[in-house]
Amino acid sequence: MKNVISAVCIKCGAEHEATPGITTCSKCGGLLDIKYDYAYIKKNFTKEKLAQRELSMWRYEELLPVTGEAKIKKLRVGWSPMYKADRLAEAIGLENLWVKDDGINPTASLKDRASSMAVVKAAEAGVDTIACSSTGNAASSLAGNSAAAGFKTYIFVPDRAPKGKVAQLMIFGANVITVKGSYEDTFRLSAEAIDRWHWYNRNAAINPYLMEGKKTVALEIAEQFDFKMPEYVAISVGDGCTIAGAWKGFKDLYAIGAIDRLPRLISVQSTGCYPINKAFAENKPLEHMEENTIADSIAVGVPRNADKALNAIRESNGIAVNVTDEEILDTMRLVGRTCGVFGEPAGSAGTAGVRKAVKDGLIPSSATVCTVVTGNGLKDVANAIKAAGEPLNIAPDMNELVKYLKI
C-alpha cells in the first residue's frame, strides 16, 4: 500500500506496520488509526480520474488502505443518493437541507461500508472466516458481504436478539451462535473464539480498517456537494465509529487539498443513552450509561470508539444534541412524508437532532446542512408502527368514504 504509512496508536502514539490483521496497539492496547502519505495521495488523486470510476465506495482507491479489492466479489456498497430536501427544510426552518439515504445499501445500512472493507482485508490476511458479535446492522452486513465474497462467518448474538434479525443472518448463511447470557457474555465468548480459531475480527473500533470503510460516506458527501462543503453534517452516534469515520474522511480530503473547509459535526444521541455527548458537553472522561431508547442501533452504553468520536466532535468545533424517542418517531414520519425516505429510528435520529438544533438556536436557519439516514426503516417495522398512527377504516361504501374524507 503505497498510500499508507502505518497504524498509529491514538493513546501512546506508537506506530505499527499496517498489516491486514492488525487490531489494537500491542504496547498499550489503545485503538489504532491508519496514517496516510498525503503527499503521495495528492499527486495521484484527481477529480478527472474519479469521474471515470464506478459509483461505489471503492471509487476512492487512493484514500483506502487496500491492495486486494479488485479480486474480491463485492456487493455494490456506497454511492447512496443525496436528496435536496426542500419541504423537510421548510418544516424544520432551514434554507438548505440535504438528506443522504444510506439505507439503500445492499443489506440496508451504512454498516455495509465497514463490512465490505472487512471482507477485502480478510482476503489480504489470507483467512477464509470472519467473525463478530452484534445483534444489529453490523452482523447482517457482515453476513451479506461475506456471502457474496465466499467467506465463512461466525456471528455471536445474545439469545434475546429479535428473531427477524437472526433470520436475516441465517439466510445469508452465517453460522449464528445465540448465547444464553448478556451482550457482554456474548462479546467475551466471541473474543475467545476469534483468538482460538484465528478468524478475522470484524469488531468496529478494535479493527482500525472498518472506520476507513465508513469514512467513504464523507468522501461521497464531499463529491456530491462538488467538493464545496456544507457547513454542518449530522450523524447519529452509538459506539462512535461512524462519526469518527466521517471525520477521518473529511480530514483526508482537507489534507490533500480537495476541499477548502471542514464541516462542523452534529453528534446526535438519544436522551436515553448519550455517554459520548455527555463527555463532550461536560468535558469530562466518559462514563458508562444505561441503554433506554427505541433507537437500538445507537443504544450503546459502553461505546468502544468513544476516544476517536470525541476527538472528531471537538476537532470539528461540533455540536452535541440529544433527542427523545418521541422526537425520533416524529422525525421518522416527517422525513417519510416530505422526502420519501424511510429510516429506522437510529437512522432518523440525526435528522431529529438537526431539528432540535435549529429550534434551540444552535445552528442558524441560513446554514447548509447535510444529514445521513444510516439505516432502512424496514429493519424495524415494530417502531414504524408506533410512529405511523392509525389509518381510516371504513366499509366499502362510497357514502361513508365521502363522509370521512371531507374533500
Q: Does 277 bind its own copies (CB under 8 A)?
A: no
Query: What grid cell was written down for 303?
Result: 461505546
Q: Does 407 bind its own copies (CB under 8 A)?
A: yes
For the chain, the straight-line distance linking the first and the last C-alpha, in angstroms and rounded, comes to 65
Of 37-45, 149-157, 210-218, 274-282, the window that binds its own copies (rule: CB under 8 A) is 149-157
Residues 383 and 347: beta-carbon distance below 8 Å: no
Distance between CA atoms of residues 98 and 103, nearest Å? 15
Q: Please, what is the minimum distance in Å from the beta carbon of residue 57 to its own copies?
A: 13
The residue (of 213 and 318) whose beta carbon lies closer to its own copies is 213
Which amino acid type is present at position 17? E
Interacting residue with its own copies among 53, 73, 261, 403 (CB under 8 A) = 73
Interacting residue with its own copies among 3, 135, 186, 236 (CB under 8 A) = 186
Interacting residue with its own copies among 41, 217, 341, 354 (CB under 8 A) = 341
Length of the chain: 407
Identify the residue whose cell numbers are 462467518. 153
Residues 226 and 259: beta-carbon distance below 8 Å: no
Q: Does 47 bind its own copies (CB under 8 A)?
A: no
Q: Please, what is the minimum distance in Å from the beta carbon of residue 273 to its own copies?
A: 24
Interacting residue with its own copies among 33, 62, 101, 291 (CB under 8 A) = 101
Residues 181 and 151: beta-carbon distance below 8 Å: no
Q: Does 198 bind its own copies (CB under 8 A)?
A: no
Q: Please, what is the minimum distance in Å from the beta carbon of residue 124 to its own copies?
A: 19
Q: Does 200 bind its own copies (CB under 8 A)?
A: no
Q: Does 49 bind its own copies (CB under 8 A)?
A: no
By CB atoms closer than 10 A (0-12, 13-18, 19+), residue 405 is exposed
Q: Does 84 bind its own copies (CB under 8 A)?
A: yes
Q: Please, what is the minimum distance in Å from the beta carbon of residue 122 to its own copies?
A: 14
Q: Does 55 bind its own copies (CB under 8 A)?
A: yes
Q: Does 87 bind its own copies (CB under 8 A)?
A: yes
Interacting residue with its own copies among 226, 283, 393, 406 (CB under 8 A) = 393
Distance between CA atoms of residues 100 and 84, nearest Å? 9
Q: Does 70 bind its own copies (CB under 8 A)?
A: no
Q: Please, what is the minimum distance in Å from the beta carbon of residue 275 to its own copies?
A: 25
b vs e for 58-97, b when ≥16 Cβ sit within 10 Å of the residue's Cβ?
Answer: bbbbbbbbbbebeebebbebbbbebbebeebbebbebebb
Q: Are strands 200-201 and 175-179 parallel, antiparallel or unpaired?
A: unpaired
Q: Please, what is the minimum distance in Å from the beta carbon of residue 401 to its own copies?
A: 6
Distance between CA atoms of residues 128 and 136, nearest Å? 22
